[in-house]
Amino acid sequence: MSNMYDMRTVHIQNSFPRIQVDLITTTNPTKMNIIIPIIPATVRNIMDFTLLMAGISLNTFLGLFIVLNSTMHTSTNCYIMSLILSNFVILLEPLERVLNWIFDINLEMNLDYVFLMSYATSNLTIILLNIETYVIVYQKNSPLLKSLLKISTAIKGILFVWTMCIMATAIELHLYDHFVKEIMYDIYVSSTIMFIIFPCFIIVLLNYFILHDLTLLKSRTETWLSKDMKRFIFLIGVNTGFFVTMVPYRIARVIILITQSYYNNMAIEITYTMVKMYPIILPIICFVILKEFHQISRG
């Protein structure tokens, strides 16, 4: 086995030798997510197998629980289903590792696409979930409330998110193939900043307004509005799970690209493993507060 993940060479010869080409030839399905293993191979394989089995089981059970229960067919659960789908995209990486380990099957998967897609779709879906909660809690009398809570509205929003993310990811990966390494790194850094700074600003702002409204209600009624508070706690759990598991890897990768310090391989592999833990976070949050989740998601 190679001492690097996904180091597979593809040699491409130019049929027109007199034409000077400055483009980067793709020598690896993964350009940005190459990991130099520090964790022993046996430990890494067991971890991937465990995360794969747990991720598939938990997300499948949660998805079936929502689909088969008619009372769970709400706009909130449409966003949850979008997050579940994104989780399955992430699970493609440990699936590749497990198939290679047990069956010696090499899928030659482009992990850049896997991680960019799952990160972007999860990020934007969580923003939609925050916007919905903000309107439900903070804008109860808004004329937008009724239309926002429609399942059709949620489905349109999800389709828009996935379509835009598929297009944006394809464009970004295409740019990686047609620019020198320094510019390619600049694109990755810019993309990461865009998908961290702006979403964080939106989410923090919306959560501030939600908490402010809940605090005002408590001061007037001397009690928390239980359903709205449970919805807010659920939202905080989803937000925290995403930012604790998905964001550190991209931040670590950006720091390395900016500082050009390519020696902290342990930090990269640990944060890389944290990304693969994300698919089990959402189901666990839902199951921990199962009764409340059932009430919250029913609207």
pLDDT, tens only, 83-98: 999 999 999 999 999 9
Most confidently predicted of 6-15, 172-181, 269-278 = 269-278
Which CATH homologous superfamily contains domain 41-297?
A: Rhodopsin 7-helix transmembrane proteins (1.20.1070.10)
Q: How confident is the model at residue 147 (pLDDT cuts 50, 70, 90)?
A: confident
Report pLDDT for 288.
Answer: 81
Residues 6+ apart with CB under 8 A from 120: 165, 168, 169, 195
Query: How far is 161 from 120, CA to CA, in rounded Å?
Result: 9
Alpha-carbon radius of gyration of the chain: 21
**Average pLDDT value over all residues in the chain:** 83
More confident residue, 261 or 184: 184
Q: Looking at the predicted structure, is the pLDDT value of residue 78 above 90?
A: yes
pLDDT score recorded for residue 257: 85
Instruction: Output the pTM of the full model.
Output: 0.85
Token code pair at residue 290: 């199962």
Confidence of residue 285 (pLDDT cuts 50, 70, 90): confident
The reported pLDDT for the residue numbered 195 is 86
Would you state the pLDDT for residue 293?
58
pLDDT grade for 184, boundaries at 50, 70 and 90: confident
